[in-house]
């Protein structure tokens, strides 16, 4: 849920964070000196202030270290947005300031870091000139990272954990364009590279590989049944890709649908296996949190601690559209899958806190298409027949959603 009272949200976030040391707490708060109008500026999207912030600085604590600045979504010339990701060792406190243009200075977002240094390999200034980002630069005296924005661009800031990342999502023209055009679908084969995901050694199944093949078959199928659609994959081979990069691509392409495709695995709950389609939302369901933690590469405590904050970035209207998309995909994937496995279980549409979906500006789902660790499904997954059935199901769910808009 995303509409609970703000005092409750504060309580939730603090409650979740109590499991960590104070130092590990990372706080977002709005700058008191922010010079832009509160109601019409991006601050409306940003997490609310933390009242106890001033007590937080802990002298003598270990310094955090900015390891890398990655900029995603800017490969194409006419990209609709960019994502800047700051990756840290340790968890710095930070303050964000969103500033209007003044004199020669463009509108900009400054991330002021407390007790943080940065590696020599981090470039002092990177010209971007695309996706709403003019330049990303480091500044002193207090260490900060400044994102100079292009005209009409807007940004919002959130953080992810394990490793600690501050993410600045910039939208080139503030709001989505509503012009009529060919629908764009971005499919995201889960994992890849150094992160194979789940596996079943007995059947020689690796999630990253199976997800890639199902995604490719899904793309082929969408192109066949909806020739107008443009379909893109976040990865075409067994290369690694960060969770942030995947959604950044979908935002940059102004995709109409983003679907991350995975295979499930479980220890205790595989008596039935089955298909599940997830949307991004908070959850108290332990199974859903465990699965999210595994897919996110985090611990369960991290997910439950951070989820209220992150879910607020996701607007309610978008959750409803994601649910509509999820229900269609769930139904068609089950019915196609059941042609091969008549007893394929329906685990339903569920909500959880998948990092890969955070910040998506379009209806976005994560499909756990079957269980690698449930024997009948594992055996079926070794066949092209079953993989194609699942892909056909996912594709017709997406096509049905696009046609019904
Ligand atoms: Zn996965």
Ligand 1 centroid–CA 303 distance in Å is 16
List the one residue out of 296, 266, 283 whose CA is nearest residue 351. 283
Q: Per-residue confidence at 21, pLDDT binned at 50, 70, 90?
A: very low
Query: What would the pLDDT profile of 99-158 be if each residue is shown by its tens digit?
Result: 999 999 999 999 999 989 998 899 999 999 999 999 999 998 778 999 999 999 999 999
The two three-digit tokens of residue 259, written as one number: 């679907």
Of 164, 174, 171, residue with least CA distance to 111 = 164
Confidence (pLDDT) at 61: 62
CA of 222 to the centre of ligand 1 (A): 22
Residue 207 confidence (pLDDT):
98
Our CA angle for 101, 164, 247, nearest 5°, is 70
Distance 357 CA to ligand 1 centre (A): 13
Distance 197 CA to ligand 1 centre (A): 5
Mean pLDDT computed over every residue of the chain:
83
CA 261 to centroid of ligand 1, rounded, Å: 7
CA of 378 to the centre of ligand 1 (A): 15
Q: Compute the distance from residue 21 Cα to the ligand 1 centre, in Å.
A: 29
* pLDDT value at residue 8: 28
Q: Half-sphere exposure (CA, 13 Å, Cβ side) for 116?
A: 30
pLDDT digits (tens, 9 = 90+) for 221-280: 999 999 999 999 999 999 999 999 999 999 999 999 999 999 999 866 567 899 999 999
pLDDT for the residue 75: 87
Phi, psi angle pair for 148, to nearest 5° = -80, 125
| CA 4 to ligand 1 center in whole angstroms | 30
CA–centroid distance, residue 28 to ligand 1 (Å): 29
Residue 282 vs residue 167, higher pLDDT: 167
Query: CA 62, CA 310: separation in Å to the nearest integer?
Result: 26
CA distance between the termini of the chain: 24
pLDDT digits (tens, 9 = 90+) for 338-368: 999 999 999 999 999 899 999 999 999 999 9
How would DSSP label each residue in 12-62?
A: HHHHHHTTS-TTT-----B-TT--S-TTTSGGGGSPPP-TTGGG---TTPP
The pLDDT-based confidence of 54 (bands split at 50, 70, 90) is very low
Q: What is the 346 CA–ligand 1 centroid distance (Å)?
A: 18
Task: Kindly give the distance from the C-alpha atom of residue 147 to the centroid of ligand 1, in angstroms, as a whole number.
Answer: 32
Cis previous bond, 163, omega within 30: yes
In this prediction, residue 318 has a pLDDT band, given cuts at 50, 70 and 90, of confident
pLDDT of residue 346: 97
Ligand 1 geometric centre to CA of 372 (Å): 11
Per the model's pLDDT, the better-predicted residue between 197 and 76 turns out to be: 197
Q: Cα(190) to centroid of ligand 1, in Å?
A: 5
- Taking the centre of ligand 1 as the mean of its atom positions, its distance from the CA of residue 373, in whole angstroms, is 13
pLDDT one-digit tens code per residue, 38-51: 333 333 333 333 32
Domains by residue range for the chain, with CATH:
6-171 (2.60.40.3500), 184-403 (3.40.630.40)
C-alpha of residue 120 to centroid of ligand 1, in Å: 34
What is the pTM assigned to this prediction?
Answer: 0.83
DSSP per residue over 99-111, as a string?
A: E--BTTBPPEEEE
Question: How far does residue 342's CA lie from ligand 1's centre (Å)?
Answer: 24
Centre of ligand 1 to C-alpha 180, Å, is: 34
């Amino acid at each position: 849920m995303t509409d609970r009272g703000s005092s409750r949200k504060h309580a939730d976030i603090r409650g979740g964070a109590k499991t960590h040391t104070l130092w590990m707490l990372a706080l977002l708060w709005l700058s008191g000196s922010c010079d832009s109008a509160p109601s019409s500026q991006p601050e409306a999207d940003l997490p609310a202030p933390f009242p106890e912030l001033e007590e937080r600085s802990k002298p003598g604590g270990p310094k955090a270290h900015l390891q890398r600045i990655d900029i995603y979504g800017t490969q194409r010339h006419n990209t609709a947005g960019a994502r800047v990701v700051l990756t840290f060792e340790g968890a710095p406190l930070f303050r964000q300031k969103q500033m209007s243009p003044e004199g020669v200075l463009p509108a900009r977002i400054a991330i002021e870091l407390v007790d943080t240094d940065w590696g020599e390999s981090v470039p002092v200034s990177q010209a971007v000139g695309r996706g709403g980002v003019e330049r990303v630069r480091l500044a002193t005296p207090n260490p900060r990272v400044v994102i100079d924005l292009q005209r009409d661009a807007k940004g919002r800031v959130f953080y992810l954990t394990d490793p600690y990342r501050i993410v600045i999502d910039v939208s080139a023209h503030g709001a989505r364009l509503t012009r009529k055009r060919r629908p764009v679908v971005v499919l995201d084969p889960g994992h890849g590279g150094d992160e194979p995901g789940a596996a079943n050694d007995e059947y020689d199944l690796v999630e990253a590989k199976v997800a890639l093949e199902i995604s490719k078959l899904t793309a082929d199928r969408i192109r066949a049944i909806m020739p107008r659609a443009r379909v893109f994959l976040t990865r075409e081979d067994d290369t690694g890709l960060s969770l942030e990069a995947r959604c950044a691509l979908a935002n940059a392409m102004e995709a109409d649908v983003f679907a991350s495709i995975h295979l499930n695995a479980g220890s205790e709950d595989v008596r039935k296996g089955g298909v599940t389609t997830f949307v991004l939302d908070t959850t108290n369901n332990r199974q859903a949190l465990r699965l999210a933690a595994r897919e996110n590469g985090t611990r369960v405590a991290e997910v439950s601690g951070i989820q209220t904050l992150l879910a607020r970035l996701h607007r309610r209207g978008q959750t409803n559209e994601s649910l509509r998309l999820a229900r269609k995909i769930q139904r068609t994937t089950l019915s196609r899958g059941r042609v091969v496995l008549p007893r394929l279980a329906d685990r339903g549409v569920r909500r959880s806190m998948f990092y890969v979906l955070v910040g998506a500006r379009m209806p976005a789902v994560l499909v756990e298409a079957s269980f690698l660790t449930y024997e009948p499904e594992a055996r079926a997954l070794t066949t092209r027949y079953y993989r194609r059935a699942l892909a056909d199901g996912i594709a017709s769910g997406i096509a049905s959603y696009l046609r019904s808009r």
